[in-house]
Amino acid sequence: MTSSDAATGRLILAGTPMGRPDDASRRLREALATADVVAAEDTRRTRALAASLDVEITGRLVSYYDQVEAARTPGLVDAVAGGADVLLVTDAGMPSVSDPGFRVVAACAEAGLPVTCLPGPSAVTAALAVSAMPSERFCFDGFAPRKPGARQDWLAELRTQQRTVVFFESPHRLAQTLADAVTVLGPDRRAAVCRELTKTYEEVRRGRLEDLARWAADGVRGEITVVVAGAAAVDETIDIDRVAARAQELADAGARLKDACAQATVGTPFSRRDVYQAVLALRGGAS
């Protein structure tokens, strides 16, 4: 390829192995060897991948990670506009899927420059495939929110989501996220925790959220992808006052009102906050 011919310039997104180097496609090997520019999330890991594939990177190798993504995007776009083939790779899986890449793809698309993809490994579809969950309709939600309040609000949005949900989570936060999911989505919702996909110590745990939360409480290591079954169809005839009354019953039995409201909302279209306010209104009316 010649970087002087503007007609050949393009941005190439390439999926890289999540664990085993021999999952690399022949097209990825060729692209690593021939691209004019290789933009890598971690240049050291990309060099190591190329070495394991017995490939020599002959183009310019530049780093392209979260902290420099905005600053380096214009230069990559200019390179494509000037006729270069720019290969974008991340540490594992597909670029721009919860990894750097969206900015440069959007910028190239805006500039009318060619963008193509070399299909490859993705933790999202790999986890979905082995989860034993329905996959005809699913949604991907990136990483679960880090802060407890935001995470609980996010889970509340999933309460009536009837599609299978896939998301990433840090091993350090997995136990708390699953515990929150038990509270918000209910203990019996089915889920799967996929750890170290395609690697030596790959593990897939399937079961009820309550059982998975208990397992994770002892600590989990590795790259984590979680798959949660969709909700059953919601009964639209459910009245919020009935849900609030149920929450009050749970509170009378000793549960904290906050937890009682969360438990009562499982399988309903109402948020914990809505039910909490309804309980307060019922209490006010009773007085």
Domain ranges of the chain: 6-121, 124-228, 240-286
Per-residue pLDDT of the chain (287 residues; tens, 9 = 90+): 443 444 569 999 999 999 899 999 999 999 999 999 999 999 999 999 999 999 999 999 999 999 999 999 999 999 999 999 999 999 999 999 888 999 999 999 999 999 999 998 899 999 999 999 999 999 999 999 999 999 999 998 898 899 999 999 999 999 999 999 999 898 999 999 999 999 999 999 999 999 999 999 999 999 999 999 998 776 566 778 888 888 888 888 888 888 888 888 876 778 778 888 888 888 876 64
Return d(Cα 263, Cα 182) in angstroms, integer.
9
Where are the strands (E) in 120-240, listed by range?
138-143, 164-169, 190-195, 203-208, 224-228
Return d(Cα 167, Cα 189) in angstroms, integer.
15
Is the CB of residue 34 less than 8 Å from the CB of residue 59? yes
Instruction: Report the CATH number of the 6-121 domain.
Output: 3.40.1010.10
Strands 60-63 vs 164-169: parallel, antiparallel or unpaired: unpaired
Return d(Cα 49, Cα 28) in angstroms, integer.
11
Q: Which CATH architecture has domain 124-228?
A: 2-Layer Sandwich (3.30)
Residue 41: C-alpha distances to residues 67, 94, 250, 278 (Å): 10, 11, 50, 49
